Amino acid sequence: MHVLLSTPSVDRPISAGDAEDKILDEMLGTGVIEPANSSWASPVYRVKKDGTFHFCMDYRRVNAVSNKDAYPDIKDALNILSGSRYFATFDLLSGHWQLGMTDHAQERSAFCTRRGLFQFTRIPLGLSVATGSFCRLTSISYCGTSCGPLAFVTWMTSSSMPAPLMSS
């Protein structure tokens, strides 16, 4: 038996259903999601932004019972920007989807659509651990080891990383 953690109350036009099919097909095709058989089921909303529909998972109930990731500290992250004049930009489109998940976490990422129950195989936006996990990995990737909140600055500034001051 699947228990919906909360129920969507908004009906969408038929075009939203077509958009849902397209989104699901794209995510299934790339392996980001897979059909699920989970006792968890969060609702999914289709949100129209810039003329196209996007998925928005409601993970509030899952997050309420999840361990939190304290990485990074916002004050340290903002201090890194102090004195910086040059920034490098990296395109990290769908960066969260680059991180895998344990079987335990996949089960809890399940969401319910009109086509059935699916779960993520990669970290989705909306889970309370997503940003911290992504920032930690980005930090390790840029620095070779964990270099503190640098990656959070990267995430916070739309993937812009402060470069050290250069002398003329």
Residue 147 contacts residue 71 (beta carbons within 8 Å): no
The answer to whether residue 85 scores a pLDDT higher than 80 is no
What pLDDT, on a 0 to 100 scale, did the predictor assign at position 78? 64
Q: Is 48 helix (H, G, I), strand (E, B) or coil?
A: strand
Domains of the chain: 3-163 (3.10.10.10)
Distances (CA, A) of 15 to 18, 24, 26, 52, 112: 5, 14, 17, 10, 18
Kindly indicate the confidence band of residue 37, based on its pLDDT and cuts at 50, 70 and 90: very high
Residue-level pLDDT at 127: 86
| Share above pLDDT 70 across residues of the chain, in percent, rounded to a whole number | 61
Cα separation, 158 vs 75, whole angstroms:
18
* 103 Cβ contact list (under 8 Å, min separation 6): none
Distance CA 133, CA 93 (A): 16
Quick check: 41 pLDDT over 90?
yes
Provide the 10 A C-beta neighbour count for residue 97.
Answer: 19
DSSP label at residue 122: B
Q: What is the DSSP letter of 124?
A: P
Tell me if 16 sits within 8 A of 53, measured CB to CB.
yes
User: pLDDT tens digit string along 87-143?
Assistant: 666 666 667 777 888 999 999 999 999 899 999 999 888 888 887 777 777 777 766
- Which of 59-92 are b and which e, b meaning 16 or more Cβ less than 10 Å from the residue's Cβ? beebbeeeeebebbeeeebeebeeeeeeeeeeee
Mean pLDDT to the nearest integer, 2-17: 49
